[in-house]
Copies of this chain bind each other. A is one copy, B any other.
Amino acid sequence: MRGFFIGRFQPFHEGHQTMVEQIAHDVDELVLGIGSADQSHTMNDPFTPGERIMMITKTLESLDLTTYAVPIEDLNRNAVWVSHVQSMSPHFDVAYSNNPLVVRLFEEAGMEVRSTPMIRREELEGSRVRDRMRRGEEWKHLVPDPAVEIIEEIDGVSRIQQVSDSDANGS
């Protein structure tokens, strides 16, 4: 059985890893859909799809689970979102999400969706991690080691600090 889990993974953090480990009990293979793949270099979406593929793949390669990291570009039309995801991703039997819109869209399309109590809390960690990076605080304990390495290689913290200045000043 193959599962599907969507996130923006900005960055891939410990919460994501925990969740993947939980889902691994249920499925043989897992697709990680990388949402907002067309966005990068903003406070909310600092990392490119390629950088996020690396964080996910390098972190999960030690796990005993076949995973696929698939960028999903925004079409900005909720009504076709499920079809879009289904065409970009290897076929999957069940979707994992606690995001109410995602749950609704999969349900209206007749797909099985499962939620975990942990997911919501973990999702929120994304902005917490980025805020810590922006303020120059400690963040590495919240992110798996292989993802830390990639962020350092691309000088990711300075990128977040620089683009967050833009957000503050308007254009």
- Report if A80-B78 is in contact (Cβ < 8 Å); known contacts: A99-B171, A104-B162, A166-B100: no
Q: Would you call B83 and A49 a contact (CB within 8 A)?
A: no
Q: Mark A27-68, 1 if CB is under 8 A from B, else 0.
A: 000000001011111100000111101100100000000001
Size bracket of the A interface: 35 or more
Is there a chain B Cβ closer than 8 Å to A94's Cβ?
A: no
Is there a chain B Cβ closer than 8 Å to A84's Cβ?
A: yes
Contacts of A50 in B (CB 8 A): 70, 86-91
As for how many copies of this chain the complex holds, the number is: 6
Q: Would you call A79 and B41 a contact (CB within 8 A)?
A: yes
Is there a chain B Cβ closer than 8 Å to A140's Cβ?
A: no
Is there a chain B Cβ closer than 8 Å to A114's Cβ?
A: no
Q: Would you call A162 and B100 a contact (CB within 8 A)?
A: yes
Q: Mark A132-150, 1 if CB is under 8 A from B, else 0.
A: 0000000000000000000
Is there a chain B Cβ closer than 8 Å to A111's Cβ?
A: no
The 5 closest A-B pairs by CB, nearest first: A79-B87, A101-B166, A41-B78, A100-B165, A80-B80
